[in-house]
Structure 1
Amino acid sequence: MKIILLKIYIFAKKRIMFKYLFFIFWIGFSLAQKEELQAVYDFQKQMNAEFADSLKSPLTDEDRAHFKALDFYPINEKFIVEATFVKAKKEKPFKMKTSTDRTPMYLKYGVLHFEIEGNKFALNVYQNIELSRKPGFKDYLFLPFSDLTCGKESYIGGRYIDMRIPTSDKVIINFNKAYNPYCAYNYKYSCPIVPLENDLAIAIEAGVKKFHD
């Protein structure tokens, strides 16, 4: 009888501990979600301010004269995902193709594994060799991707997300902060072309939409 009661006590204690840990995790994730949502609002505000600024805007003078705001998808929490980061090993720098003859050197820094609605995906994340040598960009990472919205609601050439080198194997990808390359607005710019391996078989209905046809 004592053994049975002891087993019941241990089982109950484990359940309480599990619920406590789950509660702590849920609170932590909820706070992270709120921070990411606020980051999206700040991102959109900053983008609109830069595009309206004659000194920072990639727009042509004609487009900027009529500019009011970029067209964003409604903010969607579904596209704020936790990914598992796996650092790449023994990768060699390579020349990334761009929309012009320019071929900047990049390094495949790692792979991000994540799920959306139960479907598994992976994206390579890259480091610009030259940029990483400049002050403030040592930990900067480049996440380009294309998806099923490209050429329809979003820019045909895909979109980018700015990231920093993760401090752990868990990282948040916030697709609501996806933006268009500058060449989507002005042909004078040279922009990296999204690698084929970063084409997602899902519609990422988040971030900046295409500017105009």
Structure 2
Amino acid sequence: MRKHGERRWGWGWLCLALPLLLLAACTRDAGGDIGPAAIDPDYVGGEQQWRLERARALQADDGWTTLVGLHWLELRAHYIGNGPRAGIDLGIGPPRLALVQQEAGEVYLTPERGVALTVNGEPLKGRVRLHPDRDEAPTRIGFDNGRGELGLIERGGRHALRVRHLDAPARSRFAGLRFWSPDPSWRMQATWVPHPPGQTLDIVNIVGQVDAMPNPGAVEFDRDGQSWRLEAVDGGDGLLVMFADGTSGHGSYGAGRYLDAPDPDGSGRLVLDFNRAYNPPCAYVRHATCPLPPPGNRLRLAIEAGEQAYPGEVL
């Protein structure tokens, strides 16, 4: 989608945008207290850059805050549009947009006559198959003069239309991000415990669906005189660790957080940097299908590092 309109920023974004030496003064702990000043300027600089990029990605034209709807396809055919006369009311865009049909496990879209739509950036002239988000080349339907976009997702054998718009309330009312003060002690060495090839882990998402995700191994690390273990799943480019901890619901997002990690080196070692733990999309919008931490990844340990609970309204 193309850029459109001005953005309004909350205090959290302004805090992130302050100069390097003020980064630590802008981070707040779970109780709202200002954290201690950082010591290593190189370390602080890296953390500031990561936090800036994190906030920018959330508000990008294809960022999570542009979501305005998630509509499950329950019937063989749905008329979609904006208003009570539509079978699926998108709540935005033209009154009549298109006909969506499910046939033999596939989904097709036929545009309403006289409505200008695009498919992957090109004018849409007739019926088209919608390829879901997990395909190599998912289909993107543009509407509302390029401000809106809808695509197909597949979860647990069900299909849904995911709708984005550049004027989404979650984007225009973005409240900024809060973090614990950077703490190098939460950047730690971990040991890789590989699983047999092909092992999967059942992951439940926030709407109750279950997906078997590739589970190549687990990571183990020591903290506060104890050993802790977290299962990892394939994150595409490296590993993804989904975890809940003693701060979940008490300073951090209640459903848990995510942490990207590199693949282990040849000696089975890798670095876990919990200062870069971040919230799933469901912390900001109601229209995402976030995978949740598996039961074994719910730790008693309070990980007071990384992103805190979102201070704004979930829209």
* TM-score > 0.5, shorter chain as reference: yes
| Preserved contact between residue 144 and residue 194 of structure 1 (Cα < 8 Å) | yes
The CA distance in 2 between the partners of 1:142 and 1:175, in whole Å, is: 12
| Preserved contact between residue 178 and residue 206 of structure 1 (Cα < 8 Å) | yes
Q: For 1:92-103, what aligned pairs fall within 5 Å after superposition? A: 92-103=199-210
Given candidates 170, 177, 185, the residue that maps to 1:78 is: 185
CA spacing shift, 1:113–1:52, aligned 2, 3 Å: same
The CA distance in 2 between the partners of 1:67 and 1:186, in whole Å, is: 10
Query: 2:161: which partner in 1?
Result: none
Unaligned runs of 5+ in 2: 1-39, 68-167
2:272 is equivalent to residue 173 of structure 1: yes
Greater displacement, 41-50 / 92-101: 92-101
The CA distance in 1 between the partners of 2:195 and 2:46, in whole Å, is: 28
The CA distance in 1 between the partners of 2:42 and 2:295, in whole Å, is: 32
Query: 1:113: which partner in 2?
Result: 220
Query: 1:26: which partner in 2?
Result: none
More helix per residue: 1 or 2?
A: 1
Which amino acid counterpart does residue 174 of structure 2 have in structure 1?
F
The CA distance in 2 between the partners of 1:207 and 1:95, in whole Å, is: 26
| Preserved contact between residue 180 and residue 304 of structure 2 (Cα < 8 Å) | yes
SS, match of residue 58 in structure 1: helix
Displacement of 1:123 = 0.9
Aligned length: 172
| Preserved contact between residue 257 and residue 279 of structure 2 (Cα < 8 Å) | yes
Query: 2:250: which partner in 1?
Result: 152
More strand per residue: 1 or 2?
A: 2
| Preserved contact between residue 59 and residue 185 of structure 1 (Cα < 8 Å) | no
Unaligned runs of 5+ in 1: 1-32, 129-136
TM-score (norm 2): 0.50
TM-score (norm 1): 0.71
Which amino acid counterpart does residue 50 of structure 1 have in structure 2?
A
Percent of aligned pairs with the same residue?
25
More relative contact order, 1 or 2 (CA 8 Å, 6+ apart): 1
Query: 1:202: which partner in 2?
Result: 301
Query: 1:42: which partner in 2?
Result: 49
2:63 is equivalent to residue 56 of structure 1: yes
Given candidates 159, 178, 183, the residue that maps to 2:282 is: 183
Q: Aligned-pair RMSD on alpha carbons?
A: 2.4
SS, match of residue 47 in structure 2: helix
